[in-house]
Amino acid sequence: MDFLTFIPTVPRPPRRLSISRRLFWTAVVATIYILMTITPLYGIPHTQAAQGNPQLQQLLSIIFGTASGTLAHLGIGPIVIAGILMEVFAFSGVLNLDLNKREDRLKFTLMLKWAALGIAALEATAYVLGGQFGTVTPLGGVLIVLQLLLATVIILLLDDLMSKGWGIGSAISLIIFLGVSRQIFLSLFSWDTVQDSNGNTQVFGLLPALGVALYDLFTSGNANTLLGLVNRPLTVNTYLPDFVGLVATILLGYIILYLEMMKVNIPVASAQYRGIKFTIPLRFVYVSVLPIIFTTYSLLLVGQLLQPFAANNPALITVLNVIFLPHRYFDPLLIILNFALYVALAIAFAWIWVQLAGLSAEDQARQFTQSQLHVPGFRQSERVLAKILERPINALTIISGFIAGTFASLGNVLGVWGGGVGLILLVEIALQYYALVMREQLLEMYPGLKEVLSR
């Protein structure tokens, strides 16, 4: 335990902070991370900062908040992966920790931090040895690894600061939100110019491109540029934002928001206070964020492993085309395979996560029983309650995976800004922050609720 504590941490605030102060510290955390995404790593040429598959980098940027060649090169990837592994180990009993005990929770947190640093060290070393930063000297490689380890420590401290009550929510969610928002902002406002697949120079952002198109229309009567904004061609490195993508982003975002807010109510009664009946809402999208992160990260790993061998291999090229489906790629077979791949993996990971993360029917029944709740008309038994909950929870788990996989694949096909995965994460995290802010405001207005909610 002494060894585990040899890592910097952030103390809790001396008293509960007001919502305005917590929003201030949340903005500070966001600012620090944004600065990290524009601070280049020392020791690598600028031209080497963006090597690799652009689609891979964009997906990594969305999921893990990475920024190639900067202090945020690893983003929150090591922390997210460490958190997933540690939770799986904890809930499966491998770590032999009781997370209901304060001491074991502290030990779990410290172990998670060390695991994140270990993963960061492995990733940074692999990137250096794999040549992602170009040719560097041994000393230069060591310096890059140390910088990325320091960056991971900073992100851990930022997350510590948020979770200890200085900010609102977690730094992990905030960074993912910022990463997706950045992609959407650039799609709308970026003035950068790129070469499309036809060899023409295009302005990347949709609004600047619209300004150029209107200028051409009014000065020369040429409406082709304006019409071309409806469905713009691909570039060598990325996709060009257009009106099809904008409409798809708004429409799918609304549908995801609607589904995320749907609830399935389970009627229960209290054994302690007889006669009192109420309902416990289960989310219709029972688990959405983690399955799609698992799915996308797994496909990224497979794509990275296969890419070096795909140059002269048609079969591997087809596999990569299925994984990284270019937007509005009208090959029916590739679209169907991409859809089937995302949906199958998302359902599988949703099922696994529900079983391991304490969300299964048995786990929910145990919590109901401990709270002295039961379903009216049935015997007060944990086994009976688990049997009742098994059908709706299993159905919601499969539906959650299907919805997440469907929208992720659909986002690829329609060219959704930030990607289908990014849009799911954006909506989910925005709802979480809305609920947290509303809760904080309610506690400030009615301080007596604090004691009731803590029971």
Q: Given 169, 190, 205, which residue is the final one in a domain?
A: 169
H or E segment at 434? helix 419-445
Integer angstrom CA distances of residue 395 from 251, 264, 286, 408, 415:
26, 11, 9, 20, 30
Average pLDDT on 13-42 reads 89
pLDDT tens-digit map of 130-187: 777 877 888 888 999 999 999 999 999 999 898 888 888 888 889 888 888 888 888 8
What does the alpha-carbon distance between residue 237 and residue 194 come to, in Å, rounded to a whole number?
Answer: 9
Strand partners, 374: 269
Which position has the higher pLDDT, 72 or 317? 72
Q: In this structure, what CATH number is given to the domain that contains residue 443?
A: 1.10.3370.10
**Is 184 a domain residue?**
no
Whether residue 3 is found in the same domain as residue 138: yes
Average pLDDT on 320-341 reads 75
Strand partners, 196: 235
pLDDT at site 149: 93
Which position has the higher pLDDT, 148 or 237? 148
Task: Return the number of other C-beta atoms located less than 10 Å from residue 381's C-beta.
Answer: 12
Whether residue 138 is found in the same domain as residue 272: no
What does the alpha-carbon distance between residue 163 and residue 170 come to, in Å, rounded to a whole number?
Answer: 6
Most confident listed range (9-23, 58-72, 91-105, 114-128):
114-128
What does the alpha-carbon distance between residue 76 and residue 61 come to, in Å, rounded to a whole number?
Answer: 10
Packed helices 332-356 and 382-414: angle between N→C axes, nearest 10 degrees: 150
Residue 295 has pLDDT above 80, yes or no: yes
Whether residue 164 is found in the same domain as residue 266: no
**Is 97 a domain residue?**
yes
Exposure of 319 in the CB half-sphere (CA atoms within 13 A): 17
Exposure of 328 in the CB half-sphere (CA atoms within 13 A): 17
pLDDT at site 231: 82
Which position has the higher pLDDT, 359 or 426? 426
**Is 416 a domain residue?**
yes
Query: What percent of the chain clears pLDDT 70, i.e. is strictly above it?
Result: 84
pLDDT at site 383: 79
Whether residue 270 is found in the same domain as residue 393: yes
**Is 238 a domain residue?**
no
pLDDT tens-digit map of 381-420: 777 778 887 888 888 899 989 998 998 888 878 888 888 8
**Is 239 a domain residue?**
no
Average pLDDT on 298-324 reads 76
User: Taking a C-beta distance cutoff of 8 angstroms, is the pair 87, 111 a contact?
Assistant: no
Residue 266 has pLDDT above 80, yes or no: no
pLDDT category, 344, cuts 50, 70, 90?
very high
User: Taking a C-beta distance cutoff of 8 angstroms, is the pair 183, 39 a contact?
Assistant: no
**Strand, coil or helix: what is 169?**
coil
pLDDT at site 452: 47
What's the predicted TM-score (pTM) here?
0.81
**Is 186 a domain residue?**
no
Mean pLDDT of the residues in the chain: 81
pLDDT at site 207: 92
Residue 230 has pLDDT above 60, yes or no: yes
- Domain that includes residue 274, residue range: 262-455
Residue 455 has pLDDT above 50, yes or no: no
pLDDT at site 235: 61
pLDDT tens-digit map of 187-215: 899 888 877 767 778 888 899 999 988 98
**Is 102 a domain residue?**
yes
The answer to whether the Cα torsion of 60, 62, 64, 66 is positive or negative is positive
**Is 340 a domain residue?**
yes
Whether residue 266 is found in the same domain as residue 382: yes
Average pLDDT on 68-94 reads 82
pLDDT at site 367: 76
Tokens of 319: 């596999």
pLDDT category, 379, cuts 50, 70, 90?
low
Q: Given 106, 136, 169, which residue is the final one in a domain?
A: 169
Domains in the chain, number: 2
Whether residue 131 is found in the same domain as residue 279: no
Q: Given 118, 144, 169, which residue is the final one in a domain?
A: 169
pLDDT at site 50: 47
pLDDT at site 135: 79
Residue 1 has pLDDT above 60, yes or no: no
Residue 274 has pLDDT above 80, yes or no: no
